Amino acid sequence: MKWQTGAYERHADFHFILPYQFLLLCKLADVTPDQILTDFMDNLAGGGWKREGRDRAKEKLVEYFIEHGYGQEIYSTDDIRTMFKEMDAVGLLWPENAEMELIDLYSAWRNKHHTYWFKKWFRKPRRKLS
């Protein structure tokens, strides 16, 4: 999409200082910071891989998002919950154990659907343009 530049670039390299306590927790749990951040993003986005057993974590992440007030100046909390349900529904359709041809077809459809989904929500009447 045209807006995917600058701060919204899809392929981004972030350079920031990890909070020391976070790094200590990662080391104690023997989980890399990269793995935790990747899991966080994938679960929040309703991704299609590693879905099994993550429903409670995803629910808590939606609550985290809402509790921080993200997007609430633009959308109602019901709208935000619906957005997450719709994203998760697309992830549920992942063709697990499928041949590469079907995975490629799914990926192409998913990319088109994401564009439709984004435009639907971006153009919603309550949406404030910045």
Q: What are the domain boundaries of the chain? A: 29-122
**Inter-axis angle of helices 33-44 and 55-67, to 10 degrees?**
80
- For residue 128, pLDDT beyond 70: no
Write out pLDDT tens, residues 11-36.
Answer: 888 888 999 999 999 999 999 999 99
pLDDT at residue number 51: 65
- For residue 129, pLDDT beyond 60: no
pLDDT at residue number 6: 83
Question: What ranges in 17-99 are assigned the alpha helix state H?
Answer: 20-29, 33-44, 55-67, 77-92
Neighbours of 22 (CB within 10 A): 12
When pLDDT is cut at 50, 70 and 90, the band that residue 71 belongs to is: very high
**Inter-axis angle of helices 77-92 and 55-67, to 10 degrees?**
150
pLDDT at residue number 75: 93
| CA pair distance 8, 42, nearest whole angstrom | 17
Write out pLDDT tens, residues 86-110.
Answer: 999 998 888 888 899 999 999 999 9
- For residue 9, pLDDT beyond 90: no
Write out pLDDT tens, residues 52-70.
Answer: 777 888 899 999 999 999 9
